[in-house]
Structures are given as C-alpha cells and as structure tokens.
Amino acid sequence: MFDLRIYKRLPGFELAVELVHGDSDPSRRSTPALSVTKGQTLTVLFGPSGSGKTLTLQCIAGLVRPDAGRIVLDGEVAFDSAAGIDTPPQARRVGYVFQDYALFPHLTVGQNVAYGLGRQSRPQVRSIVDSMLALMRLEGLADRRPRELSGGQQQRVALARALVTRPRLLLLDEPFSALDGPTRAELRRDLRALQQQLGIPTLLVTHDLAEAYTLADRIAVMSAGRILQVGPPEEVVYRPNTREVARCTGGTNLFVGQVRACAEEGCTVQVGDVQLDTLPCRQAPGAIVELSIRPERIMLLRLDRPPGPRDNELTGCIVDETSSGLTHTLYFRLDGPRLRNGAYDLEIDLPAYVYERLDVGDERRWSISIKRSAIHVMGPPGFDPPQSTLSILPTIDDSCSK
C-alpha cells in the first residue's frame, strides 16, 4: 500500500528509511495472527526519542521535504527526488494526527471535523460529521470548543477530523502519549477496532513497547535514523536480528559467545565460563555470536527442589532488586562459573504475584533454569542482517557520518 525510501540530513542527524507496506513476503502472510488484508495493516514505527520517527511521518505527509528518495502511496508517486516529483501535502490524501492533536481552537468540534470536507452541500456535510462523531462516541459535543474537551475527547476529534477525508494512509504521531493510563488503554482498543473497521492503512509512531506490541500488525524498530528490523511484534521482541533491536525491545541480558557444538536438537554456546544449551542456531562451531536472554523467561527454582531434566540449570543469589509495582527485577549473580564479570550476571523479571508467592523477598539464594527457547542466538557482533526482509537502506553517503 505504500513504499518509502527517504533520506534526509539535518544538522547532527541523518534519516535513511526504507519501508515497504502491504508486504508481498509470503512468510509473513502465512502467520495466522497477521492474516489481515493489506488495507487493514497497522504498522508501528517504534524507537527511542530522537530516532527520526516523527521526521519520517512528516516526510510522508509532505510537511518536510526529503533530500533524496521516493515515496509511493497507493501506487501513486508522491515524491521522487530523481524524477523531480513533490506532491504538496494537500494533494497527498494522507491523514496526520499530531501528538498534541492541533485542533483548530477557533472552530467548534463539528467545524473541526467538517474542515477537510470539500465543497459539499450543507446537509451532506452535517450527515457525514454526525455519523463520524457517532462513530467516535462524540455525540452531543459538536458545538463545544476544543478547549472544553478532555484530552481523550480531543484525541478522538483529531482522529475524526483526519478520517472524514478518507485518507489513503493515516499517520499517528504518539497519539496516546498525553493521556492518562486508563484512557490510553481504552483509546488503544478503540483505535484498533476502528482501524480494522475502516480499513485505512496506518502508520503509528510510539516509543512505548507495550503500545507497539498491542497495536501493531508489524513493528518497524527505528534507531538513530535507521530502520533496524521490521516484523510481527513477537518476531521483533523474541527474535531480534541485532543487539540494538534486542536492547530497544527490552532485552536486558545481552552476551557475546562462541558456538561450541551444533546438533539436530540444538547447539551449545560458550558464554563467559558457562556452556549454554540453545535451540539449533544455523551457525558453524567456532562462530562468535550474540545472545539475548529475555529477563521474563528465566525460571526461578527453589534450591531444595529435586533436580530434573531442565535446560541450563544454574545456582546463585540475588544481589539487588528493583520493583515497578507490577514487576520485580532481580539482579542475579551466579555461584560458580560466571556468564560475565561484574556485580551480576542476569536480570530476571518476575510478576509481583509470583514474587510474593515464592517469598523471594526473604530468600536470596536460588536455582534458575533458562529454557533453550528463552535464548535467542543472533549473528556475530556488528553483523549486518540480510536486507531483503529487513529493508535497511544502505547509507547513501557515508563520507560525513562517523
């Protein structure tokens, strides 16, 4: 549905993005959870602040002119630096919802929503606006001014205003960042339902992993002006291609190791002084690889529990911990051979109820088991993954960047 190649250089920042929407890649279509038709896909641009997410949206909408590249929307070229094409924003039919909504303060809610409806008869405009307000659960607010609305209502007005023009692509810039928790959760569900219902391809920007995971058909992980990986949420989170992606998606246990042996049922990787059993990893023995162990998938076992056939059983003690209220993060130091030097070897995330049930607060010494499936083996450090599925744009001009 859209096809982007954008290059833009700003003082101290370089954006180089390539993204293909409405993927023809059959391996993705076969994933049942993602068997949505092209028009319904919601792509999340996910990355830390300053990674170029908003700039990407602005380039697509035509608000910022890329230095080079090509933007194709619905088969129509909106921008092509080589061909000298640069369609102005008002002709692109791209809906854009700003982070703080940017509602017209001098217009009522109804006038805001009707703003983009061209020359149509008055009753026609009214009926379109009324049905859109009903769809967004904003009935009865048509005569209010934006400043008389709550944040959530303002957000829905902004969405309604963009949707009435039937854009071929909807861009949402951190749409929920200014809202409180419960409102945010509610509006996320609404947006998902609405997007499925209207079938408008959507590109949403967020730096919130949970938000990206809940909403996305696929996530494009962005960092420092580059798209690092594109894929379904579970792939990006549990099978990151690089250390950088793993770090962005909450991978806190990152190691470098060497493959010792490989067999049908799995491989053995040497990490520090420990040999870890992993799933088959398509690497030759002797290869240097990076590993990510998800902190929430490490199992905590009582020391007095009878030994059994468990993957990667190790013992140690909790040297420190922090809590977010819902999740406890334990800093675990191994007794014998270490995974790495330092105060601790692993971070372990534990839901609060498990933490309480196991009495972790009183007991510091534990055994742990790391399932083979919890260890994700990536390529060698600095490894550049194949570009066919990742759509990473090679740096166009490297002479100026470090």
Partner 1 sequence: MGLLERVIQQGAEAPSRITHHALLTRLPLILGAMLFTLFVALPLVALFTRTGLVGLVVPLTRPVAQVALRLSLLTATATTALAVLAGTPLAYLLARYQFRGRAALDTLVDLPVVLPPAVAGVALLMAFGRRGLLGGLLAEWGLEVPFTSVAVIMAQTFVAAPLYVRAARAGFGGVDQRLEQVSATLGVSGWATFWRVTLPLARPALLGGAIMTWARALGEFGATILFAGNFAGRTQTMPLAIYSALQSDLEAALAMSAALVLVSFAVLLAFRAATRRAVGDV
Binding site for partner 1 (CB under 8 A): 61-63, 88-96, 98, 102, 104-106, 115-116, 118, 147, 161-162, 165
To the nearest whole angstrom, how small is the minimum distance from the Cβ of residue 211 to partner 1? 22
To the nearest whole angstrom, how small is the minimum distance from the Cβ of residue 18 to partner 1? 23
Report the 10 Å Cβ neighbour count for 248.
25
To the nearest whole angstrom, how small is the minimum distance from the Cβ of residue 260 to partner 1? 56
To the nearest whole angstrom, how small is the minimum distance from the Cβ of residue 106 to partner 1? 5
Report the 10 Å Cβ neighbour count for 85.
13
106 or 402: CB nearest partner 1: 106
To the nearest whole angstrom, how small is the minimum distance from the Cβ of residue 100 to partner 1? 8
98 or 238: CB nearest partner 1: 98
To the nearest whole angstrom, how small is the minimum distance from the Cβ of residue 163 to partner 1? 11
Rounded Cα distance, 5 and 145, in Å: 39
Q: Which two structure tokens, joined as six digits, stand for 259?
A: 């493959």
- Using the structure block, give the residue that is written with the tokens 């908003």: 54
To the nearest whole angstrom, how small is the minimum distance from the Cβ of residue 159 to partner 1? 12
Report the 10 Å Cβ neighbour count for 240.
26
143 or 320: CB nearest partner 1: 143
171 or 230: CB nearest partner 1: 171
116 or 232: CB nearest partner 1: 116
To the nearest whole angstrom, how small is the minimum distance from the Cβ of residue 367 to partner 1? 56
To the nearest whole angstrom, how small is the minimum distance from the Cβ of residue 191 to partner 1? 18
Q: Which two structure tokens, joined as six digits, stand for 317?
A: 């003690």
13 or 98: CB nearest partner 1: 98
105 or 182: CB nearest partner 1: 105
Give the list of residues 6+ apart from residue 254 with CB closer than 8 angstroms, or none.
243, 246, 247, 290, 291, 292
- Using the structure block, give the residue that is written with the tokens 């529990």: 305
Rounded Cα distance, 158 and 164, in Å: 10
To the nearest whole angstrom, how small is the minimum distance from the Cβ of residue 89 to partner 1? 4
200 or 237: CB nearest partner 1: 200
104 or 238: CB nearest partner 1: 104
81 or 165: CB nearest partner 1: 165
